[in-house]
Amino acid sequence: MRSRIQSKLQSAELWQAFIIAVPYIWLLIFFLIPFFIVLKISFAEYILASPPFSKLFRLADTGAMYMTLIFDNFVYLWEDDLYLNTYLNSLQISITSTILCLLVGYPIAYGIARATPTAKKILLLMVILPFWTSFLLRVYAWIGLLADQGTINNFLIWIGIIDEPIKMLYTDFAVYVGIVYTYLPFMILPLFASIEKLDMTLHEAAADLGSRPFTTFRTITIPLTMPGIIAGSLLVFIPATGEFVIPDLLGGGNVLMIGKVLYSEFNSNQDWPIASAVAVVLLILLVVPMMIYQKYQAKESSGE
Amino acid sequence: MSFKKSPFTFSLLCFGFAFLYIPIFLLMFYSFNYSKVVPVWGGFSVRWYVELFQSEEIWSAVGLSLQIAIMNATFATMLGALAGIAMARIKRFRGRTLFSGMISAPLVMPEVITGLSLLLLFITMAEIIGWPSRGITTITIAHITFSLAYVAVIVQSRLVGVDESLEEAALDLGAKPYRVLIDVTVPLLAPALAAGWLLAFTLSLDDLVIASFVSGPGANTLPMLIYSRVKLGLKPDVNALATIIILIVAIGVCVAGWILSRQEKQRMADMQMAEAEKYDFSDEPQSSR
């Protein structure tokens, strides 16, 4: 009897180990190890060969293995103004767009959270639906709106506000619009979740005690919905910093962002060590926001 | 809808949804434009749709993308479900923090980093073990890796909301652990698995950046094809293609949402019925529905 229980316990343990191990090993191989390869190549040297980088580990004649770390790539990134400016510009663009996204998303999330249950369901579906449709095509849609001969300019000229088209496509403005537009659902959903939890009696109490609506909003609503604000902002800020498609299609050659530089270093210039170094620095910039987000995600999904 | 209390909120909502939807509708509208220049209206026409259906290039890209999306969704759902179950049901194991980090990081990781790192991995692997060759296999593996994280999050949040006692009862009654998974946990998870499969499917169909990094010669997915055309400027046939894709996705999501919510209602009703039967000791056996 005892051995039966034991064997049963053992099989349960084996089973648990299987459930954990399969996805764990997959993620180790295809998610974690690749970063170490990127790190490794960022310390290599660009050479004309295939693959185009020097080897880090070499066997000496004595049989000992030695390693050469070349910091040139990072020094180059630091010294070349182009890269420094591109990093700063990416951060500036993604921070500005995150704030804009928050300003647009908060009222929408608030409106949905305060709607009737049926309306709430429909409105939420309407927020999620664009997220399911192609990202690339949603960015493409804005080319037609923002172009010199685009819908917005044609409309403004037609109603007589302007005489000649305003330049919107291939400017920072176009990139802001693109990021806010495509990332808006990511902002609205966490905001909605925390606004919905809000206890409305607090507002009534504040109003009864003579607080004006704006003061109530500033001192009660905002602090209590802070988890949603932080989660939504991180969900926009982190991917937007490394964004490639939006600055490429809407920013053209005029807007420098690091995702675009990385892409062209790798694909056009074939300089893998520099591309890897660019990725490593980008990852270092984003690691703190990512850890904050991870903490939030862990708390949220464990149902606390 | 009761927005009477605050016309201010109502107008904000209207502006918000106008912002979300007008660009998509305009995109669809111009797909019926006869003119070759997108924003100049040249009369109603379906010529771009006709051209689209005659393009061999597009059909082969669609085929490749669908093939990858289906394989990806299936594998990502299986792996993601295991990961979600592990996170929700096994409270303590070695390396749990790293595991939860590896599940939530792909959700926000900039695509260029994921793409670059996976390509470098594939090249290193090909050098050492001679596998995989770049193309459909590498794109599928890359897609599974980020999709499984989305599935895991969906499954995990669903399981947190489901009572653990059902699975425990089955175990106590002598069911083997894998039977519990198949007979109890998976049916409980069905809506989450369906949602996860659909999400993984669309994420794969939608991905441009990662696929362009890890793809090999000749393997052009639909987003890659669209991108190369868009780079050359506005193209009415891209508008037509976009209209078709958006309509299919919108209809698919709505139908799936409707079916899922109906099943959910059915399940709730069944549960209530079961609850009621538990306390019903009358002789007449209750009909189950």
Task: Give A158: exposed, middle or buried? Use CB within 10 Å, 0-12, 13-18, 19+.
Answer: exposed
Chain B residues touching residue A246 (CB < 8 angstroms)? none
- Judged by CB atoms closer than 8 Å, whether chains meet at A31 and B246 is answered as no
- Judged by CB atoms closer than 8 Å, whether chains meet at B213 and A266 is answered as yes
For residue A15, give the nearest of B19, B177, B223 by CB distance: B177
What is the nearest CA distance from A118 to chain B, expressed in angstroms?
Answer: 8
Q: Is residue B44 part of a domain?
A: no
pLDDT at B81: 95
- Judged by CB atoms closer than 8 Å, whether chains meet at B110 and A259 is answered as yes
- Least reliable range by pLDDT among A274-288, B168-182, B206-220: B168-182
- A246 vs A16, A44, A104, A138, B201, CA distance in Å? 43, 31, 19, 10, 22
- Judged by CB atoms closer than 8 Å, whether chains meet at A239 and B16 is answered as no
- Judged by CB atoms closer than 8 Å, whether chains meet at A37 and B177 is answered as no
Chain A residues touching residue B118 (CB < 8 angstroms)? 30, 34
Kindly identify which residue of chain B lies nearest to residue A24, measuring between CA atoms: B99
ipTM tops the 0.85 cut: yes
Digit-coded pLDDT (tens) for A220-265: 888 989 999 999 999 999 999 999 999 999 998 888 899 999 998 8
Confidence of residue A26 (pLDDT cuts 50, 70, 90): very high
CA-based torsion, B65, B70, B74, B77: positive or negative: positive
Q: Is residue B158 part of a domain?
A: yes
For residue B249, give the nearest of A127, A132, A259 by CB distance: A132
* Dihedrals phi, psi of B39, to nearest 5 degrees: -80, 0
- Judged by CB atoms closer than 8 Å, whether chains meet at B90 and A16 is answered as yes
- Judged by CB atoms closer than 8 Å, whether chains meet at B87 and A301 is answered as yes
Give the pair of three-digit tokens for residue A230.
């932080």
N-to-C CA span, chain B: 33
pLDDT at B130: 86
Question: With 60 as the cut, is the pLDDT of residue B76 above it?
Answer: yes
Chain A residues touching residue B33 (CB < 8 angstroms)? none
- Judged by CB atoms closer than 8 Å, whether chains meet at A244 and B209 is answered as yes
For residue B13, give the nearest of A11, A16, A108 by CB distance: A108
Q: Which residue has the higher pLDDT, B60 or A6?
A: B60
Strands A57-59, A65-67: pairing is: antiparallel
Distance (Å, rounded) from C-alpha B186 to C-alpha A208? 50
- Judged by CB atoms closer than 8 Å, whether chains meet at A11 and B153 is answered as no
- Judged by CB atoms closer than 8 Å, whether chains meet at A297 and B112 is answered as no
Distance (Å, rounded) from C-alpha A142 to C-alpha A146? 6
Task: Give A304: exposed, middle or buried? Use CB within 10 Å, 0-12, 13-18, 19+.
Answer: exposed
Confidence of residue B259 (pLDDT cuts 50, 70, 90): confident
Digit-coded pLDDT (tens) for B111-124: 999 999 999 999 99
Question: With 60 as the cut, is the pLDDT of residue B289 above it?
Answer: no
For residue B118, give the nearest of A30, A130, A262 by CB distance: A30
CATH number of the domain that residue A176 is part of:
1.10.3720.10
According to DSSP, residue A253 is labeled T
CATH number of the domain that residue B169 is part of:
1.10.3720.10
Chain B residues touching residue A214 (CB < 8 angstroms)? none
Q: Is residue A36 part of a domain?
A: no
Question: Which of A11, A22, A133, A146 would best serve as a mutation to test chain B binding (most B beta carbons within 10 A)?
Answer: A133
pLDDT at B2: 43
Q: Please provide the DSSP assignment of chain B as one string.
A: ---TT-HHHHHHHHHHHHHHHHHHHHHHHHTTB-SSSTTS---B--HHHHHHHH-HHHHHHHHHHHHHHHHHHHHHHHHHHHHHHHHHH----TTHHHHHHHHHHHHHS-HHHHHHHHHHHHHHHHHHH--PPTTHHHHHHHHHHHHHHHHHHHHHHHHHTS-THHHHHHHHTT--HHHHIIIIIHHHHHHHHHHHHHHHHHHHHH--HHHHHH--TT---HHHHHHHHHTT---HHHHHHHHHHHHHHHHHHHHHHHHHHHHHHHHHHHHHHHHHHHT---SSPPP--
The whole-chain average pLDDT of chain A stands at 87
Digit-coded pLDDT (tens) for B195-254: 899 999 999 999 999 999 999 888 899 999 999 988 887 778 888 988 998 888 888 888
Digit-coded pLDDT (tens) for B22-74: 999 988 888 888 887 766 788 888 888 998 888 888 889 999 999 999 999 99
Q: Is residue A14 part of a domain?
A: no
Q: Is residue B64 part of a domain?
A: yes
Domain count, chain A: 1
Q: Which residue has the higher pLDDT, A208 or A6?
A: A208
Domain count, chain B: 1
Question: With 70 as the cut, is the pLDDT of residue A302 above it?
Answer: no
Question: With 50 as the cut, is the pLDDT of residue B19 above it?
Answer: yes
Counted across chains A and B, CB pairs separated by less than 8 A come out at 261
Q: Which residue has the higher pLDDT, A94 or B90?
A: A94
According to DSSP, residue A219 is labeled I
Question: With 50 as the cut, is the pLDDT of residue B3 above it?
Answer: no
Q: What is the mean pLDDT of residues B265-276?
A: 80
Digit-coded pLDDT (tens) for B136-171: 999 999 999 999 999 999 999 888 877 788 888 888
**Contact yes or no for A154/A72 (Cβ under 8 A):** no
For residue A238, give the nearest of B90, B108, B117 by CB distance: B108
Question: With 80 as the cut, is the pLDDT of residue A2 above it?
Answer: no
- Judged by CB atoms closer than 8 Å, whether chains meet at B120 and A150 is answered as no
Determine the structural domain holding residue A277 and report its residue range. Answer: 74-301
Determine the structural domain holding residue B215 and report its residue range. Answer: 59-236
Confidence of residue B4 (pLDDT cuts 50, 70, 90): very low
Q: What is the mean pLDDT of residues A256-282?
A: 89
Q: What is the mean pLDDT of residues A155-172?
A: 90
Confidence of residue A43 (pLDDT cuts 50, 70, 90): confident
Query: Tokens 């590896």 identify what position?
Result: B102
pLDDT at A65: 64
Digit-coded pLDDT (tens) for A184-214: 999 999 999 999 888 878 888 888 888 888 8
Angle among Cα A150, A152, A158 to the nearest 5 degrees reads 100
Distance (Å, rounded) from C-alpha A257 to C-alpha A93? 8
Q: Which residue has the higher pLDDT, A5 or A177?
A: A177
Q: What is the mean pLDDT of residues B172-200?
A: 87
- The secondary structure of chain A in percent helix, strand, coil, rounded to multiples of 5, reads 75, 5, 25
Digit-coded pLDDT (tens) for A113-125: 988 888 888 898 8
B139 touches chain A (CB under 8 A): no
* Dihedrals phi, psi of A243, to nearest 5 degrees: -60, 140
Digit-coded pLDDT (tens) for A46-96: 776 667 777 766 666 666 666 667 788 888 888 888 899 999 999 999 999
